[in-house]
Amino acid sequence: MFGLALAVPLTVLQLLLLFSQTVVHAAPAPATPNVPIKQALQCVVGSFTSVATLPGVTVTIEKAVSVSDRGSYGDATDQGFPQTIDLLPALCAVTVKVTDTSDTPGKPASSYRFGMFLPASAKWNNKMLTVGSASFAGGINWPDMGQGPHYGFATISTDNGHNSNGSDLSWATPARLYDWGYRALHGSVVVGKLLVAHYYGRPLTYSYYSGCSTGGRQGLREIQYDASSFDGALIGSPAWDTVDLMPWISKMAVYQLNTTDGQLGVQQLSILAAEVLRQCDAQDGLADNVISAPEQCSFNISTIICSDPTTCLTAAQAQTAQKIWGDYTVDGKLVSNGFELGSEDQWGVYFGDTSTLQGFDFDYERYFIYNTTGYVWQQYADQAVADSRMVNPGLATANHFDISPYQTKAGIGGKGGKIMLYHGLSDGLISPKSSLLYYQQTMAAMGITNMDDMRSWFRFFEVPGMQHCWFSNRYNAPWDFASSGQATQLRLLPYLGVGLPAVGDGWSVPGHLNDSNYDALAALQQWVEDDKPVDQVIATAFNSDFSANRTRPICPYPQKATYNGSGDVNNASSWGCA
């Protein structure tokens, strides 16, 4: 099933390659100068030379390549995103190198690259789309950029100032951390807008953002840093709380390692996930193989505690699971939210094998906090939370919740910025509770007490059964609604090595291209430009023959998709938001 039910467990590297203290706010880089624009529109390096002139900033065009219609593009030396994306429309692919010495005094110089996909002039929609990155990856996210030009967007994405795969943290230096944290994305937006306007010879009308996981964090961080960057943002499963999330990952690994018979292996996680589904499915009001309201489930883990390791968990393993579902607190104060019931299939990404448990799960402390490569798991203590908050590596954490300047920004027609935040309830990498917390913290920081006032510009969508950013595993729950990277994953299925072909059109939702009823990015544009609020988006799951298996609306919080009581439960027409 393309729910997506992957029969083969994926390694931490495979999955990370596929997704994905008070913040100090330095002054944003200078706004785009108001100067006459002279059209370039030739896909050659010289078309972009000496265009972006900003104080302390040096821009070098490394490459400009014409891509034919239905063509492909990629960079195999790009460690974070080495895949080639296909089915592209005709476009100009440009690689830009930027060095910047204009940041706050005392910080090291910034150095990063970003890519641009520039569709033909007749196809350009006068808008720019910035695409986020994934995990700790370095490299230009060319694969996810491939979706933007199909809509007509000039599309950009940054390499975050380094080149590495998503599970590698050893690249950390002060300069690279700042670039990964916020500088590379912000600078790419500023310079990108100049280059795009010059290439087409006319100004942008709107600027959008789409990113999931680290990409979600980047989008929120940029909105907090410079309200003028985007008019609309599609933010998925954001790793917004870096300083607390990463110690929580280490703490979960300690739970696994600091036990003789309590470690949860792949087999135990599968047993656990199956029992959670058995008990929790119908407790949301409908037995449909989807846990739609995990917070309502009263789960009894004792039903699978016995001595048979092929069908049960030990009491110690059950205790480990309960710790992972629970919140991480220190001195009675929340550090990070535990996972929801129904997320167990993805836990193995963090602790499916010993090398990950003792390696990646503690690399944040090794490279970002203590700069001690000899750091071992036995050294972890709750003090790491306070140390992480104090260091705040790269100022990456997006916890400046008062984003009033974005809400009220002038923009086109003075409409203010719009945000669509979404999170899969079966996410086993970043808890969906953290996105709800972010939403609630934003309301509190801005003094918003009426949900209608909040939803007038910022809406949060929970996606039952969806894992981290995409796919659904055993639930085959509807997950595809054209959010960040989803169409890309359908084209990159062969890279998983599990015998699945590349499918889809490379953008939007198969069978519903650019249809705002099914496509979140299309819906976001209508909200920003036409004042049409997004009251629901229909998500899709697929059969192995690529036909639609299930469709179901995802709804803005606090509403949930509710079955009407009659009709096909696998058809969105039988559901509403209530």
Taking only the tens place, the pLDDT of each residue in 272-319 is 999 999 999 999 899 999 999 999 999 999 999 999 999 999 999 999
Confidence at residue 4, expressed as pLDDT on a 0 to 100 scale = 41
Residues 6+ apart with CB under 8 A from 272: 264, 304, 313, 321, 344
Taking only the tens place, the pLDDT of each residue in 371-409 is 999 999 999 999 999 999 999 999 999 999 999 999 998
The tokens for 245 are 């999330």
Tell me the mean pLDDT in the region 18-31: 38
Taking only the tens place, the pLDDT of each residue in 231-247 is 999 999 999 999 999 99
Tell me the mean pLDDT in the region 234-263: 96
Give the pLDDT band (50/70/90) at residue 151. very high
Distances in Å between the alpha carbon of 295 and those of 204, 284, 290, 339?
43, 9, 13, 11
Taking the CA atoms of 163, 166, 169 and 173 in sequence, report the sign of the dihedral they define: positive
Residue 358 amino acid letter: Q
Tell me the mean pLDDT in the region 73-99: 97
Half-sphere exposure of 163 (CA within 13 A, CB side): 8
Confidence at residue 37, expressed as pLDDT on a 0 to 100 scale = 57
Q: Provide the pairing of β-strand 57-67 with 91-100.
A: antiparallel
DSSP 503: -
**pLDDT above 70: residue 86:** yes
**pLDDT above 60: residue 34:** no
**pLDDT above 90: residue 13:** no
Half-sphere exposure of 212 (CA within 13 A, CB side): 27
Considering only residues 21 and 139, tell me which one the structure prediction assigns the higher pLDDT. Answer: 139
Give the pLDDT band (50/70/90) at residue 483. very high
Cβ-contact 479, 3 below 8 angstroms: yes
**pLDDT above 50: residue 85:** yes
Taking only the tens place, the pLDDT of each residue in 317-367 is 999 999 999 999 999 999 999 999 999 999 999 998 899 999 999 999 999
Q: Tokens 């970003």 map to which residue?
A: 114
Give the pLDDT band (50/70/90) at residue 413. low
Q: Is 118 left (phi over 0), alpha (psi -120 to 50) or beta?
A: beta
Residue 494 amino acid letter: P
Confidence at residue 497, expressed as pLDDT on a 0 to 100 scale = 85
Considering only residues 499 and 58, tell me which one the structure prediction assigns the higher pLDDT. Answer: 58
Confidence at residue 51, expressed as pLDDT on a 0 to 100 scale = 86
Nearest to 229 by CA among 128, 150, 140: 128
Express as a percent the part of the chain with pLDDT over 70.
92
Residues 6+ apart with CB under 8 A from 383: none
Considering only residues 2 and 286, tell me which one the structure prediction assigns the higher pLDDT. Answer: 286
Confidence at residue 17, expressed as pLDDT on a 0 to 100 scale = 35
Confidence at residue 260, expressed as pLDDT on a 0 to 100 scale = 86
Considering only residues 179 and 500, tell me which one the structure prediction assigns the higher pLDDT. Answer: 179
Cβ-contact 511, 500 below 8 angstroms: no
Give the pLDDT band (50/70/90) at residue 545. confident
Q: What is the distance of C-alpha 248 from the center of its chain? A: 19
Give the pLDDT band (50/70/90) at residue 30. very low
